[in-house]
Amino acid sequence: MFERTKGKSLDIALSGLLILAGLFIFADLFARSSQRHIAYSDLKAQLRQGSLVEVALGSDLITGTLESGATVVAQRPGSDDTLFQHLDKAGVTYRAASDWRSVFYGYVAPALLLGSCLLLYHRRRSGSLKAFGKRGKSILLSDNPDVSFEEVAGCDEAKHDLAEMVDFLQTPEKYLELGAHPPNGVLLSGPPGTGKTLLARALAGEAGVPFYSLSGSDFVEMYVGVGAARIRDLFRIARQNAPCIVFIDELDALGKKRDERGQGNEERENTLNQLLVELDGFDKDNKVIVIGATNRPDIIDSALVRPGRFDRQITVDAPDWQGRLAILKVHCKNRKLCPATSLESLAKATSGMSGAELANIVNEATILATRERAECIAESHFDEAMERVLAGPVRTTRILTGELRRRIAYHEAGHAVVATLCEHADPVQKVSIVPRGKAALGYTLQLPAADTYLMTERELYDRIRVLLAGRAAEKLVFGDFSTGAENDLIRASQMAKRIVGHFGMSGEGSLLHMGHEFREVSLATQNRLDAEADKLLMKLQVEALKMLECHCKRLDLVAEKLLEKETLDSEELLEIVSSQSD
């Protein structure tokens, strides 16, 4: 408290000096502007006429006062030695002028300016605790967020785990009677867009307590000590406003694992250490709950997630089809849907999508219906919105003609035919040669028939065969490859490397796991695993090519239909493939 009062008094004193100095400079400039500057010869003429009453002699200037009371200023020459004789002869009083201006402008003003700069620099280095405190209060969402658990869908298990947190914040005495205390911190982990932030706000809304929301990057600064100071100030404000909830989004930016060799970022580690101290230092009845959110739980420091700190970890996964249906109902609650629109079909067709992606689809469908001036949102609007989200908008200005259009048709037909013939591949929902998005000249839309939680070796191999089937069709029909398969090759290569290095499914039976952070293997081992992945890709590409050679009539027929209609849905594709025998 003494240091804070002392710093505040210093700020007031320095600010007062700066204001007085500014006023003094302004008054001096105003006084100078009111003085009349004349030539030295004119001053001597006034002296001969007897008009001068008093003279102040400075090192450079002569200031004279006339009988009328006016003040005149003249530049003093250094070669005139008779000035004093003329002044004595005329009986004019003269004195030495005060040299306060040179002292003030030469010493006092620079000292004040330098002191101000040093104080500002010191305040910025110390983290600006007062400013951050005001910022902490500004991020308080009114009295409490107006979000409830009813508005959060698709994560029932996570809501159930957080419900008892609400009960504790509202009636803590029944837990304290038995000696129980709430978790100091709750870590929400899961893919982006699954509703982690929304869950935290809903928890605060249900409990009716203040809600502080910050990002992990808010505490990361280049100056040593700033992040730790902000952590202390944040928790000081939280304790003053308890019961409350502190939400730290993107916790991995702040709580990333420290370097075991001691070569990490010193400022980030100091900030993390301060957070560890604050979490461990809470009183058991403090009623301040800290919630962290991250989509990279694997890189969070182990000291942060031990019991007593973030001691409860809740996974918020992508919703299943029932969860997706509930999310769609929440977002469509205030929208006018056509009677024939089936949200159940849309929920089943959007396997693997997060709540944010579903909200985006609903919004895009609403925009499309508004653009067409439709009375309600039809299922066709949802289908087009889903394609816009997955593949991008239609590029109406990119017109494909001639041989290029034919090559794209065979490329997409290769994907579609192999996907239809492979037993374990995802079903094809639509295949099109209409350009979409940034670089897609055509696309084959595949969606899982049901929610998948793991994949078998056969399913992974079929996915790679489908990815490589497009360029295989180009090789079969045109005799060469094109650059249009670049994205297919990138995805197939990534999948092959995971099959070999992560899942242990390589042909030689390698069980070595090469995770994102754990790559402590020799260069020779990495080269061997890369060689195995390349061997697997070449094998599956040959199989895709042979499959198209055996079913070349179906490939030709699908390509011809694409050239004719540009887009085929799943029923039309199955009809073509099943009606033709090779």
Residues designated catalytic? 412
The amino acid present at 29, given as its one-letter code, is: L
Query: How far is the C-alpha of 474 from the C-alpha of 492, rounded, in Å?
Result: 17
| Residue 386: Cβ within 10 Å count | 24
Cis peptide before 243 (omega within 30 of 0): yes
What are the b/e assignments for 246-267, b being 16+ CB within 10 Å?
bbbbbbbbbbbbbeeeeeeeeb
Structure tokens at 11: 């700020």
Listed residue (177, 209, 406) closest to 290, CA to CA: 209
Contact 570, 429 (CB under 8 A): yes
Listed residue (495, 491, 484, 501) closest to 440, CA to CA: 484
Q: Is 530 left (phi over 0), alpha (psi -120 to 50) or beta?
A: alpha
The amino acid present at 397, given as its one-letter code, is: T
Query: Sign of torsion, CA 359 363 368 373?
Result: positive
| Residue 331: Cβ within 10 Å count | 19
Q: Determine the straight-line distance between the first and last CA of the chain, rounded to whole angstroms.
A: 88
Specify the residue for token string 């290095």: 501
Backbone angles phi, psi at 289, to 5 degrees: -110, 130
Backbone angles phi, psi at 300, to 5 degrees: -75, 140
The amino acid present at 194, given as its one-letter code, is: T
| Residue 571: Cβ within 10 Å count | 8
DSSP 502: T
Cβ contacts of residue 129 below 8 Å, gap of 6+? 229, 232, 233
Structure tokens at 315: 């996974």
Cβ contacts of residue 92 below 8 Å, gap of 6+? 47, 52, 53, 54, 55
Contact 329, 309 (CB under 8 A): no
Q: Is 491 left (phi over 0), alpha (psi -120 to 50) or beta?
A: alpha
Query: How far is the C-alpha of 377 from the C-alpha of 374, rounded, in Å?
Result: 7
Cα–Cα distance list, 515 to 137, 299, 305, 380 (Å): 41, 11, 20, 42
Query: How far is the C-alpha of 411 from the C-alpha of 432, rounded, in Å?
Result: 11
Listed residue (556, 543, 545, 544) closest to 582, CA to CA: 556
Query: How far is the C-alpha of 342 from the C-alpha of 384, rounded, in Å?
Result: 15
Question: Which residues sit opposite 337 in a β-bridge?
Answer: 377
H or E element in which residue 294 lies: strand 288-294
